[in-house]
Amino acid sequence: MKRSDFPANFIWGTATSAYQIEGAVSEDGRGPSIWDTFSHTPGKTKGGDHGDVACDHYHRYPEDIALMKELGVNAYRFSVAWPRILPEGRGRVNPRGLDFYNRLVDALLEQGITPWATLYHWDLPQSLEDQGGWPSRETAYAFAEYADLVTRHLGDRVKHWITLNEPWCSAYLGYHAGIHAPGQQNFKHSIWASHHLLLAHGLAVPVIRRNVTGARVGITLNLSPGYPASPDPADVAAARRFDGFQNRWYLDPLYGLGYPADMLALYGEAPSVQGDDLITIAAPTDFLGINYYSRAVVRNSDLEPYRFQYVRVGEEHTDMDWEVYPEGLYDLLIRLGREYRPKAIYITENGAAYPDAVADDGGIHDLERVRYFQRHLALCLEALQHGAPLKGYFAWSLLDNFEWAEGYAKRFGLVYVDFPSQRRRIKASGYWFRDFLREAVASS
Ligand SMILES: OC[C@@H]1[C@@H](O)[C@H](O)[C@@H](O)c2nc(CNc3ccccc3)cn21
């Protein structure tokens, strides 16, 4: 499999997010986010790690853009930090926050790299959380105001917009599992949060289209195909419940089907739907972003409210203990193409954590990660050849960075970061990606 097997206009990028790489959390007027609060709360992140400095990208972005250029990507997916733009979440605008993203976008364009901006990658301004957070409908309205402000300022140069990164993570991990910010464990709040996140997306889509000529708008979901641990009908039903929990709860409303009836019955907890919310949420989009890392294998369980249990399978796992299963990406792409028929699909994240180390020769020989990319890209190509509307691929991630509750212990980068010195080193996987992308030049 080589680059020229893919369409000539296929998008090849790397992805990051603001809180994971920027640092400078109190610089130039940025306000606190729920991840500043959560990561500074003892016991919430591995080793008490936080994003105060991270990759110091706020200051080092020219060097990081030079790395993207060396890798040969033609696009870069980053997120805008809401608390940098609106320190209290609404109202007062921080011009120095806007200035940073103006500089970042201009520097990307100067290098011929297309900016793809994610408006929300989990860093909710703390003041909005203090007023109810995503369980409150007001937060959806605040998001639409934020989207309006950012797209009015960057929309002349940024044409690709992702409203939300992974609402499932924000709602479930943040408000029910409690392992992500803000760390609540309240099922009803997680259901209300999921609805207000989808509502926020739906409110923002027309705002972005109004502000950005030629906008391409979408949302990014972390989707995992679910497989039953056995042919036992109870396990098959559990896999269907998993699919509802992880995938259909978001896909169905976004594609005009409303919330899935089986999950509404299972949950017995109705989302806080009002008026035309479901019409708003189903605003037509130009693409679906998919973050794919692995599949899920589940069996039946009495564990309420989801009534499934994960089963650990497979011979090969990453440092996150996620099974390496590229076939799941193929199955997912084919299913989505057939069942939801998005205009386009972009893999907005795919990658793997491995315990990278600098070898005696100064290199980082992350050959497992090279193999991970090769296998997943091969299945992307196969799905594309079988009709999936796949138009691009963003590797997660450009840099080793702050891996949320796992802190800096889990490395996903194509580029190794020595955090004490902030020195960047391209890994073997980065050089592989560079050579893969250069092939088209050689063969054209
Ligand atoms: O964990 C790797 C990345 C993470 O760094 C990104 O910020 C985020 O967008 C992301 N989403 C997933 C898939 N979903 C997920 C599941 C459990 C915990 C965290 C993320 C993986 N990743």
Predicted-complex ipTM score: 0.98
pLDDT for the residue numbered 421: 98
pLDDT for the residue numbered 176: 98
**403 assigned to a ligand binding site:** yes
Is the CB–ligand 1 distance for residue 402 below 6 Å? no
308-312 mean pLDDT: 98
pLDDT for the residue numbered 443: 47
Residue 303 has pLDDT above 50, yes or no: yes
**192 assigned to a ligand binding site:** no
349 is catalytic: yes
Percent of the chain with pLDDT over 90: 98
Rounded to the nearest integer, the mean pLDDT of the chain is: 98
166 is catalytic: yes
Is the CB–ligand 1 distance for residue 318 below 6 Å? no
pLDDT for the residue numbered 251: 99
pLDDT for the residue numbered 444: 44
Confidence of residue 269 (pLDDT cuts 50, 70, 90): confident
Neighbouring C-beta atoms of residue 257, cutoff 10 Å = 15
**What's the whole-model pTM score?**
0.98
User: Whose Cα sits closest to atom 14 in ligand 1?
Assistant: 222
Is the CB–ligand 1 distance for residue 319 below 6 Å? no
In the chain, the N- to C-terminal Cα span, in Å, equals: 16
pLDDT digits (tens, 9 = 90+) for 8-18: 999 999 999 99
Residues 384, 342: Cα–Cα separation, whole Å: 13
The correct answer on CATH 2.60.40.1180 for the domain covering 3-443 is no
Q: How does DSSP assign 402-432, residue by residue?
A: --GGGGGGS---SEEEETTTTEEEE-HHHHH
User: Whose Cα sits closest to atom 19 in ligand 1?
Assistant: 169
**432 assigned to a ligand binding site:** no
* All structural domains of the chain with their residue ranges: 3-443
Tell me, in angstroms, the distance from the centre of ligand 1 to residue 442's CA: 35
223-232 mean pLDDT: 98
Q: How does DSSP assign 102-136, residue by residue?
A: HHHHHHHHHTT-EEEEEEESS--BHHHHHTT-TTS
pLDDT digits (tens, 9 = 90+) for 85-103: 999 999 999 999 999 999 9
**Which residue of the set 349, 368, 382, 439 is catalytic?**
349
pLDDT for the residue numbered 93: 98
